[in-house]
Copies of this chain bind each other. A is one copy, B any other.
């Protein structure tokens, strides 16, 4: 890739789509230039409204994102969409299909869409997604949507960058409220009951509301449920009103401040983990030899971990 111009940050801030696109690629690939760019852009962030969307595969998240984008465009708002795709050869088809649906917006510069693939098992993706959100924020996008397939801890980390988190569920598809992945109940500001034309929706919503009543009360806002049928664009106006209501409640609140500090704390820890892992992988031979020693039962695993820390020049404090 061509070396960035001296005006890269200025071009991004001016909303230049090519500069923006190049910046997101640099961020996604962890290029060295991305870091200096982010430093220049960072003071100009914090203006965008960030919506996180997560939920299991097949709940219709992408269709919902497409609907939300259309409604925000009708309000003359510019959008940035970051779609996180887990990388598996087996799900490639489904994801391609999702992305094709988003093509409604392909010719509209007001909707900038970027798919990011998983960067391996060692994290880094929530970092890259957070950086991408910062870039879009500095580029003046009014609304940033971060969408991620799946409901593991990694996905939860990714959407935590958002101001408002939507958890998409589909009543009657085998999802029981009881089986909602640990962590999802805690992060949702709004539950979107999508495909709500399913007759199971009433029962599901009742169960969900009961479960929410058992949760510790939150300050200022308690999670809501909104019904949609995204394929028919039904319920999306109501969803946007609920997002606006949350935004009213959230703006300037103590909760917002706390959530942001908690998010960056978590981001810093992930960054630390990512960094030491990179260093260990750069010392590949040491790592391989230690792993082989443990596999052959010559070396006890915790002893091997200590040796790895020492080899990397990190102190090892006994946890006693």
Contact = CB atoms under 8 A, between A and B. Distances in A.
A249 interface: no
A7 interface: no
Contact of A182 (B43, B118, B178, B315): B118
A111 to B, nearest CB: 26
Interface string A94-123: 100000000000000000000000100110
A169 to B, nearest CB: 11
Interface in A288-316: 288, 290-292, 294-295, 297, 300-305, 308-309, 312-316
Given A38-B302, A292-B261, A91 B272 contact: no
Interface string A46-63: 100000000011100000
A154 B155 CA distance: 12
The SS class assigned to the A binding surface is helix
Interface stretch (A17-25, A71-79, A81-89, A233-241): A81-89
Nearest to A286: B268
A254 interface: no
A89 B213 CA distance: 12
A1 interface: no
Nearest to A151: B152
Contacts of A267: 291, 294, 301
A86 B183 CA distance: 9
Nearest to A273: B273
The 6 closest A-B pairs by CB, nearest first: A152-B152, A88-B182, A174-B174, A57-B179, A173-B174, A265-B291
